[in-house]
Amino acid sequence: MDLAYTPEQQAFRAEARAWLEAHVPKEPLASFDTAAGFAAHCEWEAKLNAGGWAMVPWPTEYGGRGADLLEWLVFEEEYYRAGAPGRVNQNGIFLLGPTIMEYGTPEQKARYLPPMASSEEVWAQGWSEPNAGSDMAAIQTTAIRDGDHYVINGQKTWASRGAFAHWLFGLFRTDPDSDRHRGLSFVLVPLDTPGVTVRPIEKLNGKQAFAEVFFDDARVPAANLLGEEGRGWNVAMATAGFERGLMLRSPARFQSTARKLVELYRANAADCEPALRDRVLDAWRGAEAYTLETYRTVSRLLEGGKIGAEASLNKIFWSELDLAMHETALEILGDRGELLAGAPSATDVGDWLDGYLFALSGPIYAGTNEIQRNVIAERILGLPRR
């Protein structure tokens, strides 16, 4: 066990810090769930990519730096420390990217990864359907092979970033006679394909963060299949692992929230009931525990280990931590906790309310926490299936 960074890691941190300090926008960008904010975030991503910082763990040929996962954690720490913009293409770079790295052909890697790193192509997810939510194996949307194309019919929903994205990745039933986990395939779909209709859905916070996507004889090239036909479930589980695990939600995000929460408490401590002190401590403890556990996991991965069902532990932990931190912040704000950002008395309330509304979705997306608890119980603890 050695918990000190190497001189190389320290140099990497210094380089990332210097670049970010010079380039991070001084004013926060508008939400990427608005048309103007989406464009501004894509512009930022292009700048990040030009600096070589869009996806540091990727090989240099795809726009990365060939960094290892520890360096990636260091980069994330610097990114959040600098208060840099949220990653508009997170579905692409953190979820699909690593999946393509594992399952993609050399041609697919060369085709999809560079424009993903630059956010010229922003990705939406296509998992859920009206009748397939937690029960994802109930997917009905079909992609039937016709010559060198798949013809897609059906409907996806809750496609995060769907309102503005250029591409969608998801699971489709390529064998119409199959059921459950068999006969599904992982297909990449340009959202401007004729026969594809995107209808944005307003979120709880009023923003157009996700969408319904309708497919009506939409034809996509057979070359857009990722992995083997009929083996899409396995490919999707790898993506889900990245989503639940360390890629999508690196610890720096929660450490940043915890630090802001401590500052908020310091500024308002005189007006706070004593129990809030404990909740602030618990929030920070949670963020530190998540950080330590992530470093432990990364150390194990670098020694050749694998992450499997453990990703479900992560997902429960970060989503419930995030919610608890935002609930605590609103408690600290007291009567001002319900004010929208534009209210005259909302000068120092920060974006805690908006963050709270977003945090509420944490226990739902990426597989509900109930599903994660089933996974832990059955696949880690070995309790009997139903």
Binding site for other proteins (CB under 8 A): 1-7, 9-10, 13, 70, 74, 76-78, 80-81, 251-252, 255-256, 258-259, 262, 265-266, 269, 277-278, 280-281, 284-286, 288-293, 295-296, 298-300, 302-303, 310, 313, 316-317, 370, 372-374, 376-378, 380-386
**Minimum distance from residue 265 beta carbon to other proteins (Å):** 7
* Contacts for 299-307: CB closer than 8 Å, 24+ residues apart: 299/70, 301/69, 302/68, 302/69, 302/70, 307/241, 307/245, 307/246
Give DSSP secondary structure letters for 172-203: EESSTT--TTTTEEEEEEETTSTTEEEEEE--
Given 229, 243, 327, 331, the catalytic residue: 243
**Minimum distance from residue 95 beta carbon to other proteins (Å):** 22
**What is the Cα–Cα distance from 250 to 81, expressed in whole angstroms?**
13
Helical packing angle, 7-23 and 69-81, nearest 10° = 40
Please name the helix (run of DSSP H) or strand (run of DSSP E) that holds residue 158, with its range, or none.
strand 149-160
Tell which residue, 364, 384, 363, 366, has the closest CA to residue 374. Answer: 384
**Minimum distance from residue 178 beta carbon to other proteins (Å):** 27
Residue 322 CA to its chain's centroid (Å): 14
Q: Which is nearer to other proteins, 129 or 310 (CB)?
A: 310
Q: Which is nearer to other proteins, 21 or 370 (CB)?
A: 370
Radius of gyration for the chain, computed over Cα atoms and rounded to the nearest angstrom = 21
**Minimum distance from residue 246 beta carbon to other proteins (Å):** 13
Strands 196-201 and 167-173: unpaired
Half-sphere exposure of 363 (CA within 13 A, CB side): 12
**Minimum distance from residue 61 beta carbon to other proteins (Å):** 27
243 carries an active-site annotation: yes
Q: Which is nearer to other proteins, 220 or 311 (CB)?
A: 311
Q: Which is nearer to other proteins, 10 or 197 (CB)?
A: 10
The SS3 of residue 70 is helix
Q: Provide the annotated active-site residues.
A: 243
